[in-house]
Amino acid sequence: MSLPFEPACLPLLLGGLPHRSAVQALEASRSYAEALLAWPQLPQRSFREQGFVQSLIGFPGALIDALQARAYVDRSAAERELDRLGLAYLENNSDYAALAEDDAAGLAELLRQSHPAQMPLALKGQLMGPISLATHITDEQQRPLIYDSALFDALGQHLRLRAAWQEARLRERIDTTIICLDEPFLEAVGLPFLPVDWEAARDQLDIVLGGIAGCKGIFAGGAVNWAEVLQTSVELIIADAYEHSQSLVAAAAALPAFLDRDGIVGLGLVPTDAEALSHSTAEGLLQHTIALFDELARAGVPIEWLARQAVVSTSDTLSQLDVATAERALQLVARLSQLLRAHYQLDEQT
């Protein structure tokens, strides 16, 4: 299901932050994006918290070498363990894909801190999506898993259980949840070097999304074919609308039908490059957003409708920045949200 309310340009963070302290990261998230609260991933705290590694943990044959900063799959070990994963998948046993507290410190801290008086409108979790994870992770011969159909399919099953496990943990605190698949390599689908076309990619995405009962999200950076993505069961998309807004405009014909089924459009409007951030202001980003909305309106997207069903985010993760610069980006997200809500008269609607 989508969200039971109109998000109306509220902030929604991608999750990755550069803090080493889960307490400090969660405090920053609450300060700037409390209404739709994402648990923070902390890759600078631990190699095991890097997005690709964190999502791989627990997969059959996965080997995590923090000293060498390497994560890969031992093919022979994987083949011996795939039956256990298959059984867990058939039984919908999400505990199979549980993460230890130390491998997701931000999630553990959120669950420790949550209190009814502090409840946001929704809690958000995130994990790497099947296309990007299978493209990035290799076997011991450095062959990406996406080139092995059996391991690629098994990875989708693993991620479906991981998504369901995350959602179950968040629902211990609140009924309204968002689970988002991070797909930084999704723009490669359809290119000659990738052995997956859009039909196969949509099938894999839907396998993982099928493990989510709440709001099903996909974040993808770059020049993504959003019209293809919108043919999945996704209910929230988050696009890089800072550097690649034309990819969203190219999908304008598909957006009204997506909005009509209560789909939510996440606008990654705040840059994540330190140099760009140093020159950005919320007022300047507001003008950029208005220009984008005007272009979408000319392409047939009802803008008042879009504004009511939009969220504001960054164009990519903030985890590669220093803490001060990342928090500057968070401030811009929060302030831009305020300006957009005022401009489109949304303050009374949430």
* Domains and their CATH numbers in the chain: 10-57+84-343 (3.20.20)
Among residues 255, 179, 175, the alpha carbon closest in space to that of 210 is found at: 179
Rounded Cα distance, 11 and 330, in Å? 9
For CA atoms 95, 104, 188, 10, the dihedral sign is: positive
pLDDT of 73 > 80? The answer is: yes
Model pLDDT, residue 116: 58
pTM as predicted: 0.96
What percent of the chain stands above pLDDT 90? 94
Cα angle 201-215-257, degrees, rounded to a multiple of 5: 70
The pair of structure tokens assigned to 84 is: 């256990």
Rounded Cα distance, 271 and 280, in Å? 8
Model pLDDT, residue 83: 96
Model pLDDT, residue 347: 77
Rounded Cα distance, 83 and 59, in Å? 12
Is 256 within 8 Å of 235 (Cβ atoms)?
no
Per-position b or e across 86-124, b if 16+ CB within 10 A of its CB: eebbeeeebebbbbeeebbbbbbbbbeebeeeeebbbbb
Rounded Cα distance, 48 and 191, in Å? 30
**Model confidence pLDDT, tens digit, residues 265-314:** 999 999 999 999 999 999 999 999 999 999 999 999 999 999 999 999 99
Residue 153 phi/psi, 5-degree rounding, is -65, -40
Helix, strand and coil content of the chain, in percent to the nearest 5, comes to 50, 15, 35
Rounded Cα distance, 232 and 91, in Å? 24
**Model confidence pLDDT, tens digit, residues 105-156:** 999 999 998 665 568 999 999 999 999 999 999 999 999 999 999 999 999 9
**Model confidence pLDDT, tens digit, residues 185-227:** 999 998 988 999 999 999 999 999 999 999 999 999 999 999 9
Strands 122-128 and 70-73, by their bridges, are unpaired
